[in-house]
DNA sequence: CCACAGGACGGCT
DNA sequence: AGCCGTCCTGTG
């Protein structure tokens, strides 16, 4: 396949470091020149920002422009979203300025499910290592500029892995969860196509929760960070709990803060933009 | 040696 | 329902 290039001048609300380091994805790596290279949906791509221009370059399965518009959520008006969020309070306003170039990626549902099952009680370097090893062993190889990249395996490809195979890749106790979830999706006990067409968010969440390894937090991450694109959900992890407690609740012991209290607060304050608010707050608090 | 990391799960009250 | 110990592994 031929390399393609797509360039956007005068782009707004697009900062590679914000997008790839705000915790939504695991397959993008910073390059020595400050650009990022990643593999998604069978494509290999490099993203570089020079001034107000973004250059997308890569080996794509279709038209690079259409692929980027979809994956990087380019048709959504983040300027307007940030303006709305800034009106809520000064905390959110500060976080929005801090992570002004964040965008929520349109990631493959299947890959997002497995990735966030792997993320449970885990740290980012190790999560990335595990997903890379899974891809190298069960995905397809793509060569570009003398480097080899590996697509995230399809359901059928990953179904070839036994529990022992997964354990050998370093998944730890998550091996059985990934194995069983793969089986459930393979035999259509959970049909991902149907899930993508389901309008009712609560129904989608309930279905996700039937997958081994998918609890409340992982389900919300899948709802927000995949093609399901539910911007109203508010994934609560230790960092978000910490932020919400520091900013609003102010309980001396943050581990005692009730999760439902945080959910209620997020819904009241952020409404349908709760997921986006979560991303700005998370990035702000974790980096600063 | 120990704590901890972007939780889930099962077995208790 | 809520609480709590345990689950693999690498890093400090």
Instruction: Parse chain A into domains and list their residue ranges.
Output: 3-75, 109-225, 238-287
Say how far A264 CA is from C1 C1', in Å.
Answer: 18
Q: In sequence order, what are the beta bridge partners of A8?
A: A54
Nucleotide nearest to A171 (CA to C1'): C8
Say how far A264 CA is from C9 C1', in Å.
Answer: 35
Kindly report, residue by residue over A174-208, the tens digit of the pLDDT: 999 999 999 999 999 999 999 999 999 999 999 99
When pLDDT is averaged across residues A212-216 and rounded to a whole number, the result is 97
Report, in ranges, which bases of strand C sit under 7 Å from a protein C-beta: 2, 7-11
* Strand B contact set, beta carbon < 7 A: A 22-24, 119-124, 126, 173, 177, 209, 212-219, 221, 235, 237-239, 282
Kindly report, residue by residue over A115-133, the tens digit of the pLDDT: 999 999 999 999 999 999 9
Report, in ranges, which bases of strand B sit under 7 Å from a protein C-beta: 5-9
pLDDT of residue A239: 87
From A217, A210, A220, A218, select the one nearest A185 (Cα to Cα).
A210
Total residue count of chain A as it appears in this document:
288
Nucleotide nearest to A126 (CA to C1'): C10
pLDDT of residue A1: 80
CA A205, CA A195: separation in Å to the nearest integer? Answer: 9
Say how far A160 CA is from B12 C1', in Å.
Answer: 37
- For residues A74 and A65, is the Cβ–Cβ distance under 8 A? no
Q: Is the pLDDT of residue A255 over 90?
A: no
Kindly report, residue by residue over A18-40, the tens digit of the pLDDT: 999 999 999 999 999 999 999 99
Q: What is the CATH number of domain A238-287?
A: 1.10.1670.10
Residue A171 — pLDDT band, cuts 50, 70, 90? very high
Nucleotide nearest to A209 (CA to C1'): B8
CA A165, CA A182: separation in Å to the nearest integer? Answer: 14
Phi/psi class of residue A42: alpha, beta or left (left: φ > 0; alpha: ψ in -120 to 50)?
Answer: left
With a pLDDT cut of 70, the percent of chain A lying above it is: 100
What average pLDDT does the structure give for chain A?
96
Q: What is the CATH number of domain A3-75?
A: 3.30.310.260
Q: Tell me which residues of A are annotated as active site.
A: 217
User: Same CATH fold, A238-287 and A109-225?
Assistant: no
What's the CATH class of domain A109-225?
mainly alpha
| pTM summary value | 0.97
When pLDDT is averaged across residues A2-25 and rounded to a whole number, the result is 96
pLDDT of residue A25: 97
Which residues in window 252-271 of A are less than 7 A from strand C by Cβ? Answer: 260
Please name the residue ranges forming H helices in A36-77.
64-71
């Amino acid at each position: 396949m031929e390399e393609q290039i797509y360039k956007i001048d005068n782009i707004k609300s697009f900062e590679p470091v914000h997008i790839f380091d705000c915790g939504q994805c695991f397959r993008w790596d910073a390059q020595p020149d400050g650009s990022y290279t990643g593999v998604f949906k069978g494509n290999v791509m490099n993203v570089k920002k020079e001034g107000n221009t973004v250059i997308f370059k890569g080996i794509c399965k279709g038209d690079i422009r259409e692929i980027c518009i979809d994956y990087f959520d380019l048709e959504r008006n983040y300027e307007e979203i940030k303006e709305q969020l800034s009106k809520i309070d000064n905390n959110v306003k500060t976080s929005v300025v801090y992570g002004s170039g964040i965008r929520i990626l349109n990631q493959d549902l299947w890959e997002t499910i497995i990735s966030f099952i792997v993320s449970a009680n885990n740290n980012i370097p190790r999560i990335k290592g595990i997903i890379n090893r899974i891809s190298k062993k069960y995905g397809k190889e793509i060569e570009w500029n003398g480097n080899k990249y590996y697509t995230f395996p399809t359901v059928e490809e990953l179904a070839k892995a036994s529990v022992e195979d997964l354990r050998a890749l370093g998944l730890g106790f998550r091996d059985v969860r990934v194995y069983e979830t793969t089986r459930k999706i393979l035999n259509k006990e959970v049909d991902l196509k149907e899930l993508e067409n389901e309008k009712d968010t609560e129904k989608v969440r309930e279905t996700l929760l039937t997958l081994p390894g998918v609890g409340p937090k992982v389900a919300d991450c899948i709802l927000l960070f995949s093609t399901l694109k539910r911007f109203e959900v508010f994934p609560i992890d230790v960092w978000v709990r910490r932020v919400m407690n520091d900013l609003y609740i102010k309980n001396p012991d943050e581990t005692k803060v009730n999760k439902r209290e945080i959910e209620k607060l997020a819904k009241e304050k952020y409404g349908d933009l709760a997921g986006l608010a979560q991303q700005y707050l998370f990035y702000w608090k974790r980096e600063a």
